[in-house]
Structure 1
Amino acid sequence: MTWKTLDDMELAGRIVLTRVDINVPVQDGRVTDDTRIRRIVPTIRDILAKGGTPVLLAHFGRPKGKPVPEMSLRVTLPALEAALGCEVTFVERPDRDSLAALPEGAVVLVENTRFSPMEEANDPQMAQFLASLGDVYCNDAFSAAHRAHASTEGVARLLPACAGRLMEAELTALEAALGAPKRPVVAVVGGAKVSTKLDLLGNLVEKVDTLVIGGGMANTFLAADGLDVGKSLCEHDLAPTAREIMAKAKETGCEILLPSDVVVAREFAAGAENTTVAVTAVPGDCMILDAGAETVARIGTALEAAQTLIWNGPLGAFEIAPFDRATVAAARLAADLTDRGQLVSVAGGGDTVAALNAAQVADRFTYVSTAGGAFLEWMEGKTLPGVAALHQAG
């Protein structure tokens, strides 16, 4: 670990610029899901306990560098205060003197950083201004760490910097999953399209022992193997790329596990008439909507033998029953193995979180990341600017 945490910092009497992600869903002027707000509470409480003043920096929506009233962070105040159990001071234009004059125990929320065009441009002038406001920088927004912005990267290089509790948990989990994992390592990658996950697949075949490919993506690989996938979602133009990935996997000794049987239907609708067939016998007028029981059993065998699991994307069209069966069955087995201490399980990505919630196992995985794009870029092996800045500071 080459980055510092809150435990390494002297915070008493200091202003702690704390980058958080509270870009939460809002409807009719109210926060409808406060998950991201609740996840930053431990960091804020620890800063307060050490005598520091947390000054929260965050973005909200995409105002494109100008003030947009409906994208004001003011809308998050009630939810933030409820989660913290204390008053939060909202500041549109912060200055060092007013922040320094705040009483001990104050929590400050600064207006949307993206109201300035200098934020997304990572303008040194904005980074310098932010640095002038505080004594210590704490990044607790892994989900924004793939952006080199003034509040995520620029300011981190100008102040003593550390990771907040959420960032610390995320980085520790990711290190356990891909940095120095216990082997064998299984990766489950699903979702609709191969085209959105080319970098991911290319990186994983060099890092994991077994790569399970599911969802619509699997159809492209099956077609690349010369199989007829009927009317299934399939990127036929990416067949050469799929074959390249399979060839690379052979070179690196990574086993690619594709469906051997699939659930097919003539329409994608709740309760649609469906049947399970071998991948060599998909009717021309049907579409593949889930992995079959035999495939789930093969995935189960791989999970039973594994010590580490990384999961991104569902195995089928999980949004509509009964095409959620494979995803739910595999997720529940992974959760059982995690409960028994046999498996370190790390999952992330929007559809993944929704799928694990649908299977009612999200809280039984070792770690579930809500970071979306940052989690994917990390899985792709890319350097995340917000994390790199902490490494340098550390």
Structure 2
Amino acid sequence: MAWRSLNEMDLRGKRVLTRVDLNVPVENGRVTDTTRIDRIVPTVQAILAQGGKPILLAHFGRPKGRPEPTMSLRQVVPALEQALGQPVAFADDCVGPRAEAAVAALPQGGVLLLENTRFHAEEEKNDPGFSAAMARLGDVYCNDAFSAAHRAHASTEGIARLLPSCAGLLMAEELSALEKALGSPQRPVVAIVGGSKVSTKLDLLGNLVGKVNHLVIGGGMANTFLHAQGYPVGLSLHEPDLAETALTILARADEAGCEIILPRDIIVAKELKAGATETVMGPHDCPPDQMILDIGPASVSYIDTVMGHARTLIWNGPVGAFETKPFDAGTHAVARKAAELTQAGNLVSVAGGGDTVAALNDTGVTDQFSYVSTAGGAFLEWMEGKELPGVAALG
């Protein structure tokens, strides 16, 4: 991957259109989680330090191409000001006279946030005229929103073709971490892929079996593979119509020399509820009136051993129903081991995806991994081996 970094650009006196991710949770007009805001602060401060004027572009929610007051970025301004430690000007449009006036009034050292780009239907259509209208507001384009890089929208791809472009500090950090994990990784490489359905991750599994040495399959996905091999899965979530697909993936992995790791023991219960009575048993012993909800201690032990011999870990998706105790035990145990190996300098660990981040936060080890991506779809498409339009446009 080739891209220009922020420090390669001449920003002095330049208007820097900066695409950021401000799609944060808001309740009663207040931001309830500032993680994404906090992560853009270094890029904004770097632009200011280099004499540039940061003009922030972002989407918020899905307003379907028209103004929607509940999805206005104005409500993000107080949290943004607190994170930056300075006032932030706001323009109630991202193109046209009002946006142009706000840009013209922006003083040196000031920061401006433009209104939700998705208030215009042309944004998601990547309309050339709309891209040009936004491009007129700046001299340089900086993309710091990896989480939106899988979308070929006007603010992520269109503008990048019209102005001198670069990756922001967060984007560059993310791309560098991903390159180390799958582009040119230290081997052996182990990937953990969890989640509920095989059908949502077919491209991912197909790409990984040719690139990693070990592939751990957990969560509801593992049940489909167990079913395909003739094991009873009782009332467990699984996709019986994908049994042949699962067998094909197993065969492809075998040809590629990739070890597929399925549960060696399972945690079962009669229902998915907090405090439910759980039982550990072999993967071929699930009773017809129970469901598989987590991996057992033998599975955790084997995954720990594999990670202990690996040099690189890529993780997307929990290995059990971690949202409900006690079925979070397997995910927590594997996460703690991965964090321990990383902190000891033995493992490069990269994780991403909403459920994965939530699981690592729940375990309390997020800051002990080499890199944790807050991106969902973009991280998944990168793992699938797809080109990301927002990244390709920076080349």
TM-score, L = length of structure 2: 0.98
Query: What does 1:212-231 correspond to in 2, within 5 Å?
Result: 212-231=216-235
Distance in 1, matches of 2:99 and 2:113, equals 13
Q: Which amino acid aligns with 1:250?
A: D
Q: Secondary structure at the match of 2:192?
A: strand
Aligned to 1:125: 129
Query: What does 1:90-169 correspond to in 2, within 5 Å?
Result: 90-93=90-93, 94-96=98-100, 98-169=102-173
Q: Which amino acid aligns with 1:73?
A: L
Aligned to 1:73: 73
Query: What does 1:323-334 correspond to in 2, within 5 Å?
Result: 323-334=327-338
Number of residue equivalences: 391
Aligned to 1:357: 361
Distance in 2, matches of 1:162 and 1:199, equals 29
Q: Secondary structure at the match of 1:66?
A: coil
Aligned to 1:256, which of 260, 264, 274?
Answer: 260
Contact 1:48 1:105 in 2 (8 A): yes
Contact 1:189 1:314 in 2 (8 A): yes
Distance in 2, matches of 1:234 and 1:2, equals 40
Q: Secondary structure at the match of 1:18?
A: strand
Q: Which amino acid aligns with 2:66?
A: K
Q: Which amino acid aligns with 2:212?
A: V
Contact 1:337 1:343 in 2 (8 A): yes
Shift of 1:141: 0.4
Q: Which amino acid aligns with 1:333?
A: K
- Structure 2, unmatched stretches of 5+, are none
Contact 1:15 1:100 in 2 (8 A): no
Aligned to 1:171: 175
Q: Which string of whole-angstrom CA distances, capped at 9 and with x for unpartnered residues, describes residues 246-304 of structure 1? A: 01101111000000110111111111111100012111111111001001111011100
Shift of 1:100: 3.8
Q: Determine whether 1:371 maps to 2:362.
A: no
Contact 2:90 2:102 in 1 (8 A): no
Q: Determine whether 1:10 maps to 2:18.
A: no
Q: Secondary structure at the match of 1:177?
A: helix
Distance in 2, matches of 1:280 and 1:63, equals 48
Contact 2:193 2:218 in 1 (8 A): yes
Aligned to 1:82: 82
Contact 1:96 1:134 in 2 (8 A): no
Distance in 2, matches of 1:114 and 1:52, equals 25
Q: Which amino acid aligns with 2:221?
A: M
Aligned to 1:384: 388
Distance in 1, matches of 2:323 and 2:377, equals 21
Aligned to 1:36: 36
Aligned to 1:63: 63
Shift of 1:103: 1.6
Q: Secondary structure at the match of 2:284?
A: helix
Alpha-carbon RMSD across the aligned residues, in angstroms, is 0.9
Higher mean Cα deviation, 281-290 or 51-60? 281-290
Aligned to 1:277: 281
Q: Which amino acid aligns with 2:54?
A: P
Aligned to 2:27: 27
Distance in 2, matches of 1:354 and 1:132, equals 39
Contact 2:91 2:102 in 1 (8 A): no
Shift of 1:102: 2.3
TM-score, L = length of structure 1: 0.98
Distance in 1, matches of 2:102 and 2:296, equals 62
Distance in 1, matches of 2:354 and 2:23, equals 14
Q: Which amino acid aligns with 2:78?
A: P
Q: Which amino acid aligns with 2:326?
A: P
Q: Which amino acid aligns with 2:24?
A: V
User: Could you say if the C-alpha distance between residues 98 and 326 of structure 1 is closer, same or farther in structure 2, counting changes exceeding 3 Å?
Assistant: closer
Q: Secondary structure at the match of 2:190?
A: strand
- Structure 1, unmatched stretches of 5+, are none
Aligned to 1:315: 319
User: Could you say if the C-alpha distance between residues 263 and 95 of structure 1 is closer, same or farther in structure 2, counting changes exceeding 3 Å?
Assistant: closer
Q: Which string of whole-angstrom CA distances, capped at 9 and with x for unpartnered residues, describes residues 25-56 of structure 1? A: 00011111111000000000000000000000
Aligned to 1:267: 271
Percent of aligned pairs with the same residue? 66
Aligned to 1:206: 210
Q: Displaced runs of 4+ in structure 1, greater than 4 A?
A: 94-98
Distance in 1, matches of 2:299 and 2:73, equals 46
Shift of 1:106: 0.6
Q: Secondary structure at the match of 1:207?
A: coil
Q: Which string of whole-angstrom CA distances, capped at 9 and with x for unpartnered residues, describes residues 201-234 of structure 1? A: 0110011000000011000000101111111111
Distance in 1, matches of 2:118 and 2:111, equals 21
User: Could you say if the C-alpha distance between residues 359 and 98 of structure 1 is closer, same or farther in structure 2, counting changes exceeding 3 Å?
Assistant: closer
Shift of 1:130: 1.2
Q: Secondary structure at the match of 2:55?
A: strand
Contact 2:214 2:258 in 1 (8 A): yes
